[in-house]
Amino acid sequence: MEAYCVKCREKREIQEPVAAYNAAGAPVTKGTCSVCGTKVYRMGRTDAHEGLPKPEISRKKEIKRKGKLVIVESPAKAKTVGRFLGKGYTVRASVGHVRDLLRSKLSVDVENDFEPRYRVPNEKRDVVNELKKLSEKAEAVYLATDPDREGEAIAWHLMEAAEIEEDRTHRVVFHEITEDAVAHAFAHPRTIDMDLVDAQQARRILDRLVGYGISPILWKKVRSRLSAGRVQSVALRLVVEREREIDAFIPDEYWSIDADFLPEGGKTSYRAKLAKINGNDPELGSEDAVNKILDDMRESVYTVDSIKHGKRRRNSSAPFITSTLQQDASRKLGFTAKKTMSVAQQLYEGIELDGQGTTGLITYMRTDSTNISDVASNEVRNYIKDKYGKEYLPKVPPKYKTRTQSAQEAHEAIRPTSVMRKPKAIKKYLSRDQFRLYRLIWQRFVASQMNPAVYKTLSVEIIGEGAENAYLLRASGSQLEFPGFLVVYEEGRDEDQTEEDEADSDTIPIGEIKEKQKQTLEELYPDQHFTQPPPRYTEASLVQALEENGIGRPSTYAAILSTIQNRGYVVRENKRLEPTETGFLVNDLVVEYFPSIVDVNFTSHLEDDLDLIASGEADWVEIVREFYGPFSERLAHAEEEMPEKKAELQKVGRECPKCGHDLIIRWGRYGKFISCSNFPKCRYTEPYLEKIGMTCPECGEGEVVRRKTRKGRTFYGCSRYPDCDFTSWKQPVPTPCPNCSGTLVIANKRDVQCMDCEKTFLQDKVLKESEMA
């Protein structure tokens, strides 16, 4: 029998061989080198091992574990939670997800129950390795990721990637980062909820199947860098269909008639509106029809038919959920959905306050529940009673119906963690955006727990008897009697929404009017109108439409809006969402070849199926299989039948300075740019400048162009930059300032403001006077 001798550096015959077992329990033969006498041994069982007792295998020394490891998503959250837990706890941040599907491949085995293939990205390997080392030394590991499906999935991926034993892993959930909430969560840990993990995993896999299935077809048939998503495609369809409604809209002419009356023996006139003609709604579609009515009304006799007094109660809105927060922040603060969620995340994770350390200011901001905890309810009720008085406090705390049937009732609405942290008191610790959003959340929450506003209402009906027709005119108004919640907050409105007519009832001389009293007609006011097309979506109204149709969930709204804009399918102009040519093209192809993907009802039902998975009532593999069968057939059909619809190259109207070919507009990763049509032979490019039709007011040579910052914010500058550094966040107009001849910019829908003297003017008046000059 031979063995390798390290001294002779070759195999030698074993002298005096002895059969044995090593420390690991493996059979070996020991001996010495027959040439030099050096000890040698050889691995492997021999006949000599038969009957030889096998030694007990020495076990590895057990690791002495000490302390507790807590893993959260963000460093800010880690800092806040760590302060509450104190000694004995090590708090670390995973910085979001630590595993995901491979980016370069589908990473879903459609032949094997859609098994996903996860990978720790290169940029997360150091984080995972550190968490793995820390977890090995800890006696217990607490996964304190966010209290939703995404957070549950992150917790599961952390346990898998860092190889943390299940019996040492605890899941803790809190909806606000306060000392009491954190202490309660750690006193009641649970295991990871695999139903929630499966629901998130099913959503991720469905989105991957759709995106990685349709997108390559669009690259081939239309152009590269396009994408289609399971939910983003529905949002795009809503925007495109609204634009087509607007384009197809034909306005109808209609007229209204107001009248000024003076009560018999009275001194004060008032205005009423024509409501009925011969008991029917007025149909005044032309000026000729109106003139005939006016002639008859002028000769009619008018008397008061009835005077009705009443009261109207206006209830406060529910505390914020994710969708309503995004909507109101858009209307009142001008925030995009993405910005709203970013700032809310900062408020949730914690802000450094003097004497209090890093403190979470609001509850979790991804929620669809309007519930309020008893502790928060008692605190705000005491505050309302002390601040405003008993008359502002309802006898019973208000309860609001949750909009979404699938809302997670264990969650709470978005509210301040303590109503006693009044916005003004902590303003100095917050950035401007943080303060404005916190104030909005604080005001909405307090108002939601207050009594309704009460209005006194008045309605006067006047009957007119004419030679040809009988007329009913109505004067109405309301007067605020008790402000209620309005002392704190009033919900924002879209520009398209018309506020209820709440004219002060003092304008109607109620002391001079009596029933059956004659009224003298003083003047008639005919007014021509045209029906208006439906408005383009704002981010706020699109989120509302998605929510009403059951599309997406609180954690997805901001991502949906960002995606359709980043892909170049939709642009945001003056807060309105307009589809681009590419958006129309992609939508039409997806609608034709993948109708179920962009069907609102189908997508809504799929969201319901995900909710069933989350509640343990459905199997995620079966849901995905049911979807993928018909979808894969559609993919094959589209691959064969979808025609090539390359978007026509838009010429700039100039020649390439390098080779003389036409310059054209192309789409890249970051939007439009100008390139040579002779690409790839000629690689000349230049930025795309969107001109607004105005000469630069600073240098007088360049043109004012619309640009975007790296974060997507629109601003205006000179096309000669950097030679001219004129910039403005607001759109300039060619008309000079009437006061100082400076540059005017559009301040809002109604006003323009001078950049030099800062005076404000009515937009319509200034621009009309400029046209007439």
Give the CA distances from residue 184 to residues 167, 181, 412, 414, 449, in Å, rounded to whole numbers and listed in that order: 21, 5, 16, 19, 25
DSSP 414: B
Return the biggest CA–CA distance within the chain. 140
CB 243 within 8 A of CB 578: yes
Catalytic residue annotation: 364
- Residues near 646 by beta carbon (within 8 Å), at least 6 away in sequence: 222, 223
Contact 392, 450 (CB under 8 A): yes
- Dihedral sign computed on CA atoms, order 279, 282, 288, 293: positive
Give 3-state DSSP helix, strand, coil % of the chain, rounded to 5. 35, 25, 40
Question: Phi and psi of 660, rounded to 5°?
Answer: 90, -5
Residue type, 390: K
Q: Which helix (H) or strand (E) holds 259?
A: strand 253-263
Q: How far apart are CA 541 and CA 549, in angstroms?
A: 12
Contact of 546 with 337, CB cutoff 8 Å: no
Give CA–CA dist 585/246, Å, rounded.
Answer: 18
3-state DSSP call for residue 666?
A: strand
Handedness of CA 490, 496, 497, 503 (dihedral sign): positive
Report the candidate in 304, 450, 436, 433 with the shortest Cα–Cα distance to residue 389.
450
Q: How far is CA 163 from CA 96, 134, 157, 196, 198, in A?
A: 17, 11, 10, 20, 19
* Residue 582 · residue 667 · CB < 8 Å: yes
Kind of pairing, strands 118-119 and 140-143? Answer: unpaired
In the numeric block, which tokens belong to residue 203? 């959503």
What DSSP string runs through 325-365? HHHHIIIII---HHHHHHHHHHHHH-EEETTTEEE--B--S
With H, G, I as helix, E, B as strand and everything else as coil, classify residue 185: helix
SS3 sequence, 241-254? Answer: HHHHHHHHCCCCEE
